[in-house]
Chain A
């Protein structure tokens, strides 16, 4: 019991360190502006740096010029969409992502509040968080994107208490479902994948975004579509960076990148190579052949 408690605390401290260490990378624009207009129905807390908001908006808006005439096999059933028209893809994202917050967001008593006792659906089912089988020397890291909303939802479910997130300028958001959709973003996601190739950059950001958005799906033991530990011999052996589900976030992100890259007329050859490598890295993380129930749990 004592050891378990120590492990919990150590893990929590490591998480805190990671969040803190990434702060130093946000220096280009930390100005808090009075109002940040939403992109579609996706809202930004007021402390998201303007540069990150702009980068995010550029990627999202690039969907408007998407023209995937022949989607890769299986992608429509994978994502349960009728086509890959821009409106369809926007809706898919907005069903799963409503709020964007900065990676400076602190998990503390001021930001995370207990709202009330809550009757969660499927109370007997709590998703299992895979524990790495390798110890790591965690050094300075650079935040890309994080579906923090799903994590808060599962934490509340474990406690049988509804939790709320205080978001700067947006008030308290009750985490009644992973579909409430709160994502943290950091500068890392906007680091240039290749030089002078915005089209490639947009596709890369969208691939990560579709991956993270899919963490808002699932119910019972599939809630949040948590990752599995990669098996012995795998490139990421011992790390919770694989999927047992063929309809998991890695495959969703990979297939979206593939589909968007295939129709990209502005991408450079170098950009397409870089995207292919990211695609392969993601696709290589499918280690099972399970199909998980992706119907969302709860309602927002």
Chain B
């Protein structure tokens, strides 16, 4: 039989609290996009009517571009804010919270969309640039966006998004991705 049973249980429960409970929040935390995160559609491409085939192709690309804009805007609403993370309990925050996993899923779909249709690259770069610079977003998200931006920009990366426009901790963290 347990002596001082209450003390035993309280001790254990306190330790468990400070330890390693891994929970995920079930409450959805969705956001409206910040003005800076609303992706402006590119200027309309002049209509070419030389052949029906070309027209169809351009219409198709325009539709893809518009759909991608919607996807980018939707993704922006799914990225949690730092303020959201700081409201969490230690149990919720102990492992990557569900809201961040959901954002990762959405960011993954963006990467897939660009890989499937390289003509969406400029739109994606615009999204990644704003995401990198948005200090309401978690450092992890901004670092991933910065990494993705640089991957798409290639040799023009430093010119298109100079390092002095990016928070040092974002650059530092993103570098750990490529470090081997």
Contact = CB atoms under 8 A, between A and B. Distances in A.
Interface size class of A (residues with CB under 8 A): 35 or more
Interface stretch (A14-22, A30-38, A46-54, A85-93): A14-22
A270 interface: yes
B173 interface: yes
A268 B111 CA distance: 10
Interface residues of B, number: 64
Interface of B: 2-5, 7-27, 82, 85-96, 98, 100-101, 103-105, 107-109, 111-112, 115, 138-141, 143-144, 147-148, 173-174, 176-177, 179-180
27 contacts: A8-B10, A11-B17, A22-B23, A73-B179, A112-B8, A114-B3, A129-B19, A130-B18, A132-B89, A136-B88, A136-B90, A141-B92, A142-B26, A158-B11, A159-B11, A227-B94, A235-B139, A236-B86, A236-B88, A238-B86, A239-B88, A270-B109, A277-B96, A280-B139, A280-B177, A283-B173, A284-B140
A57 interface: no
Contact of B16 (A151, A277, A278): A151
Contacts of B8: 112, 114, 155, 159, 163
Contacts of A154: 15
A141 B144 contact: no
A103 B112 CA distance: 36
Contact of B94 (A15, A72, A163, A241): A241
Contacts, number: 238
A107 B105 contact: no
Contacts of B3: 114
Nearest to A22: B23
Contacts of A29: none
Interface of A: 8-9, 11-12, 14-16, 18, 22, 25, 70, 72-73, 107-109, 112-114, 129-132, 134, 136-148, 150-152, 154-155, 158-159, 163, 188-189, 191, 193-195, 208, 211-212, 215, 224, 226-227, 235-241, 249, 268-284
Contact of B5 (A109, A147, A148, A274): A109
Contacts of A8: 10, 14
Nearest to B115: A269
B93 A239 contact: yes
Contacts of A131: 18
Counting chain B CB atoms within 10 Å of each CB, the highest count among A211, A241, A249, A278 belongs to A241
